Structure 1
């Protein structure tokens, strides 16, 4: 049992002293790098993948690849929309609690989160009824971010200009 406490203490010290991990709150502002749009996001360690509120989704072909055009709500004017386009990485089928299945397109999204420029697969769904347009899951945060669930807005998006 004593050995278990030693390992636990060493693990905690490793996380505290790790310069590679940023500590962020449960809710943070994140920037969609390509469009330079800042959105409020839920940092959700319980979700494997990230998701983004996507409205008016339209699939199309560009240079022989499947792409998707979609809109997000402008954070500065909830009646306005911002159009984004991304190549489709894959389509996932999610089975809902009701038993119905839902297809969701997945795209690669680059977000500036704190001082981290992080890219990961992000599913496009209608999150209009939810509090946050963006949910950042473990796939985006793994190895880079620790979440303090009792805090919010600890770091504004501030990625070095050379990385963008």
Structure 2
């Protein structure tokens, strides 16, 4: 099994909100032509070329991303979080047949944007870390907040909520999926592993 560590190049942005660069985000959002997407679309995490199915859900405010082994740590006096995305949990990355999805686990580090407490019926409340990540959907790059949680039992490893939709003027067709007219660039499983080979922190023979 290969563990691939994705270096975080976002330290300089850790204190900024996703739309801090915009002089007037509300005006820009109002002027942007609405784009209609399906209830499920492909998304690509920008700094990894990792492709995932994302469910677009107007019932959720904050987006959510599948993650396991989530651990907080301190870096330069700030709170960061380390987490892994096992590609075998959903197997959305195209493959050339040389590797199994279960053989590759991506490891990420991100500054913590905030934490949220999720109340669950019949179960203890759950603390979740929220991080800011860049991703591509329908050929366009976006930035939004993702809460990190184990979504291995769900059909979709990512969920995109209302904060993303309202910030980027997205409309949802609840009757159909994969309506995006443009695609985002991504890599095959083998290309992704080769690209990050220099950052492999542990390799175990699957046999």
Q: List alignment gaps of at least 5 residues for structure 2.
A: 1-30, 94-99, 186-207
- Structure 2 length normalisation: TM-score? 0.64
Query: Is the alpha carbon distance of 1:19 and 1:107 closer, same or farther for their aligned partners in structure 2, counting shifts above 3 Å?
Result: closer
Match of 1:149 in 2: 174
TM-score normalised by length of structure 1 = 0.79
Residue in structure 2 matched with residue 113 of structure 1 by the alignment: 137
- Distance in 2, matches of 1:115 and 1:57, equals 30
Partner of 2:154: 130
What residue number does 1:28 align with?
41
**What is the CA–CA distance in structure 2 between the aligned matches of 1:126 and 1:111, rounded to whole Å?**
19
- Count of residues paired in the alignment: 142
Helix, strand or coil at the partner of 1:153: coil
The residue aligned with 2:79 is 66
Distance 1:33 1:131 in 2: 22
Provide the aligned C-alpha RMSD in A.
Answer: 1.8
**Distance in structure 2 (CA, Å) of the matches to 1:157 and 1:34:** 16
Counterpart contact for 1:31–1:157, Cα < 8 Å: no
Kindly provide the CA deviation profile for residues 23-55 of structure 1, in whole angstroms up to 9, marking residues without a partner as x. 110110001112221110101111111000111
Deviation at 1:105, TM superposition (A): 0.4
Contact 2:32 2:169 in 1 (8 A): no
Q: Which runs of 5+ in 1 are unaligned?
A: 1-17, 160-164
1:100-151 CA distance string (max 9 Å, x none): 2110001012121113322121100011111100000011111421111111
Residue from 95, 110, 122 that aligns with 1:98: 122
CA distance in 2, matches of 1:82, 1:72: 5
- 1:66-104 deviations in whole A, cap 9, x for unaligned? 111111132334412111111001111111111521100
Question: What secondary structure sits across from 1:46 in the alignment?
Answer: coil
